[in-house]
A and B are shown apart, each in its own frame.
Chain A
Amino acid sequence: MSDMKIVGFVCRLCAMVTSDLGPPADSKIKLETVELPCAGKVDGRLLLEAFEKGADAVFVAGCPEHECMNVKGSSRARKRLEHVQDILNQVGVGGDRLVMYNVSGTQGPRFAQIAKEMDELVKKLGPSPLKARKDRKETSQAV
């Protein structure tokens, strides 16, 4: 289970301020973040390719909707996420592997909590079916 990977797309303006605190030190959680100028910058391609590239779960962290530094970035992100969750459900990856969080710049512990929640999520869901397929392909090629 230790090779499970979580990728988070985080807003540079709010969530990123807290994310540099990272997951709790004692955890074995493999959680990686990619900075975006605004949560509203995420798009379908980015989210889907993150799964294709091997993420077992993906989250987007933006400002609380009523505090979004770009006014409607967080709400745009949420809508786009809902759309991509539908696609993930349709292709069999599962929309529950994609989660939206709203964090304000002054909430350090919240980020640690996100790390824990995401960790529990991947433990519950297991490896992404996409990755299993990729691994199988690689193994068969190797053979």
Chain B
Amino acid sequence: MQKDVLVIGGGIAGLQAALELAGAGYPVHLITDEPNLGGKLTDAATKNGQSTCAWGEQVNISSLFLGGNIHASSGVVGSFITRVMNNPLVQVYTGTKLVDFKGEAGHFQATVSDAATGKQTQNLAVGAVVLASGFSMYDVSKKGELGYGYYKNVMTSLEFEHLLTQSRYQADCIRRPSDGKCAERVAFIQCVGSRDSVSKAEYCSAICCMFTAKEAILAKEYAPKTDVTVFYLDVRSCGKNFDNILTQAQNLGTKYVRTMISEVKEDPVTENLAIRYVDAGEKKFGEYDLVVLAAGIRPATRLQETAKLLQLPLNEFGFVQVDPLDPVSTKRAGIFSVGGSQGPLDVPETLALSSAAAAATARTLGKPEGRQPRKPVPERDISKEPLRMGVFLCKSGLATMGADINAVAAAVKQLGDVSVVELDQAACDPASLEKLQKLIATQGLNRIVVSPCVMKNNLSLFQDAAQAGGLNRMLVEMPVVPLKAQEAGTGTQTAVALTKRALADVKGYRPLQWHAETVIPKALIVGGGVAGMATATALADRGFPSVLVEKSATLGGYVNTLSGSLEADDIKQTVEKLIAQVEKSDKIEVLKNAQVIASTGRQGHFVTTIAVGNATRNLDHGTTVLAVGTNEYAPAEFLFGEDPRVITGTEAQYRLLDGRLKAKDGETYVFMQCVGSRNDVHAYCSRTCCAQSVYSALALKKQNPLANVYVLSRDVRTPGYLELKFKEARQAGVLFLHYETADKPMLVNDKGQLSLSVVDYASRLTMNLKPDLMVLAVAQTATPEAQQIADVFKIQINEDGFLSETHSNIGSIAFPGGGIFIAGAAHGPKSVAECMTQARGVAGRAARVLAQPVLMMGGIVAEVDPDKCAACLTCVRTCPYTIPNITREKKEMGAAFISTADCRGCGMCASECPNKAIVLHHYLDEQVLQRVDTVLTEVV
């Protein structure tokens, strides 16, 4: 069995898969036909003929595709790239394509060659393949009626984002291409080449609603006077926190108009663009300075060729076919598909899939071959050494700032105390890092400044290199390129000042120590629903035991009440299979009627108290997975609970399955969407109810075409391929009416007959329906246990009551403390398939922790000086993690004690201690005050 893995694609999906696999110990070959890594999220640039940092100026470009983020920090994507480039287990082949592929899972032979010439062929023996070829954008010039390509002021979203980046440095104005005039009226047209049978893309591209909302916000931010109009069909902001962004755009004054645009016309004299449209039954006319087209998503250009070599079937749109309930596995064993290769997905979904694919690959390949752990380099004792500082200037970073490289180098050499000044094209390049490492030893350097770097996250890269050179990792400082220096023309001066600041700070840094703590190779999983069970079985597959805690007497959770979904008809069967698998597994201990009541400890070793019935037990475990699920909202409106003809969407589905609900001739079935969602109480979208209603409505209409089936919605949110079912429902004759919140439909009991009045948005006509059955698409709400769970594990819940993860985009399955992960709908409303994907990703991440024999603890932690401590208990009360206690150890008897293994390093105790008996290392008072001093004295 070959343990190497071939990853095809260098975008964020491929990078994440490579990092996950390498982290689990598998050697990775990553090929991309692009000249650089980063895919859609980065774009290389040059300035004054000097090549700048590849991700330096692309802050806004990258944000286009990042779901929940308005501004993505350039470092977000950049750090993926540098971590991949510097991972010893990942071999990167840029400008390379697959040309031949043979063999079977475990024993594939892949041949790759130069993408342009087809020469320089190499053979790679790999055990598995992760296909992450990404997507391309629809060529909007094919929509001639919208004028792209011949009207200069019609552009794509991506081009508009470039324009915004340039506008960032101009005061108050977005200059349009034709004449440089201020574009004060900007129109966005959604769904260009999506949800469109003419261009053979009947699916929804899923990401454009969010990037348009973001561009609207950016436009308003740079030029507040800009008048922004968005022409849309449905706004599909159905990811976690996405509705907040939509609301933000609307609050800034963005107008959303629900209408389809069939033509854009240019006034040849003014070059302004005219759009005629129908809004709420009225003909309207608008003139705009700039029109932005939200182009849809298409398969990557090379996907067809690659899929043929891999013998993978493609779907009718040219994306890789996958099973919705196992969305990383392809038709061929050992080959996995992630990200844009299988259709339109946003970044959080893409990352979850990549983690899940890495986990599935690991399952296929078995344990990685024992990698020799790198021998730790003995650390030099620098306590008696005189100061020897080395400065490593990064040409790319300097060029990004617009600095004169030679002038900066000369100025830095003039500074006192500096022993070595090096100049490299890219400081983060593996060769530069190796040089840094060598110079530490040969020159006896004991402080390092790398200056300047675009990516804050790169500090750890240079710290690793220092450590490998025998220098304590805390003795490194790295100033970050400030964006405003780029255009202000003060790059040289700023670069020198930043370097001086870093030198002043780093002088006061002290070495810190870490020590090894044993990892308990067992997971605790809270919640016995689909997400919890899928995590447990995925971990069991990898050989890791887990304890599954379920509050009720049965496994299955919320899904027990469901019958089917749009993604797959056999949800029930899937869940039953999963339950059987869990109950059979000797690796999974199930505790029913059980509840978690307290938890202490850290990543690698938690101790959690579980109440089972009347007894309690303590469990030692290495990681925690929270999969506490959601609840269904019980509405207090639409006669729910008063009239038996008003039921929930879940109940309707249940009745459809067991045959109690049968569509009868002439009867009227009305589905009411957003009951309890997207309102003042629950501001978010419940994500799954549109698909559920479409599913049930279609089933009813198919059963009996003579039944009247209505769906009343605000937006029909069926992203991706779910759009196809929406279309099928419309074709079958299900009637979809849009209502406005201001004109919320009213349901009354009129002498025994249900009567519903609704104002149809498009026609502005009031319709009176006489429903025989009223189905309410009720919100998914956070479980009431979420707060208790959050308290036990010292995490937070968001304003909607769902558990708050580290970062909505890039840290969407982990919590800040480390070792605690989130799976399923506890994170936010999710479909069964999405829960299962996320669970597999979580299992992969958890397994990476559990697979390590030890974890290093210490570093930036608090320490008590027992001589100063008066045992006043302030720290005991302050610590959010209940770590300090009064020790009975002889030496420090009666003083507070903070375990270096457990401390999370927030420093609250240090600032609260009335006698200053506690310090937080690396943030000692004198060190922080020094930083205040440098920022106030060294002007940048």
Contacts and interface: CB of A to CB of B under 8 A. Distances in A.
Contacts of A127: none
Interface in B906-926: 906-908, 910-912, 920, 923, 925
B168 interface: yes
B73 A40 contact: no
Contacts of B807: 17, 105-106
A41 B809 contact: no
Interface in A23-53: 23-27, 30, 32-38, 40-43, 45-46, 49-50, 53
Nearest to A30: B939
Nearest to A80: B911
B483 A40 contact: no
Interface residues of B, number: 58
Contacts of B910: 41, 43
B720 interface: no
Given A34-B928, A41-B907, A109-B70, A53 B933 contact: yes
A32 B920 contact: no
A70 B911 CA distance: 14
Interface stretch (A61-69, A89-97, A117-125, A135-143): A61-69
A76 B486 contact: no
Interface string B873-895: 00000101100000000000000
Contacts of A53: 929, 932-933, 936
Interface string A101-112: 000011111001
Nearest to B933: A53
Interface stretch (B230-238, B254-262, B321-329, B791-799): B791-799
Contacts of A15: none
Interface string B670-714: 000000000000000000000000000000000000000000000
Contacts of B799: 66
B830 interface: no
A108 B68 CA distance: 12
Contacts of A41: 906-908, 910-911, 920, 923
Contact of A68 (B482, B486, B796, B935): B796
A54 B932 CA distance: 10
Interface string B139-183: 000000000000000000000000000001111000000000000
B320 to A, nearest CB: 31
Contact of B935 (A7, A66, A72): A7
Contacts of B68: 106
A76 B908 contact: yes
A20 B904 contact: no
B488 interface: yes
Contacts, number: 137
Given A34-B931, A37-B906, A5 B936 contact: yes
A106 B69 CA distance: 5
A20 B73 contact: yes
Given A20-B75, A46-B925, A109-B217, A13 B483 contact: no
Residue among A18, A30, A32 with the highest chain B CB neighbour number at 10 A:
A32
Contacts of B904: 70
Contact of B929 (A30, A42, A46): A46
Nearest to B816: A69
A66 B484 contact: no
Contacts of B804: 67
B626 interface: no
A71 interface: yes
A18 B171 CA distance: 22
A109 B936 CA distance: 25
A23 B798 CA distance: 27
A49 B170 CA distance: 37
B907 A37 contact: yes
Interface string B590-618: 00000000000000000000000000000
Contacts of B171: 26
A34 B221 contact: no
A76 to B, nearest CB: 6
Contacts of B59: 21
Given A23-B484, A41-B923, A66-B796, A106 B908 contact: no
Nearest 5 pairs of A and B residues by beta carbon: A108-B71, A43-B911, A41-B907, A32-B935, A38-B906
Interface of B: 59, 68-71, 73, 75, 168-171, 217-218, 221, 241, 456, 480, 482-484, 486-488, 794-799, 804, 806-809, 816, 860, 878, 880-881, 904-908, 910-912, 920, 923, 925, 928-929, 931-933, 935-936, 939
11 contacts: A24-B168, A36-B928, A41-B910, A66-B796, A67-B804, A69-B816, A71-B796, A72-B880, A80-B911, A106-B807, A109-B71
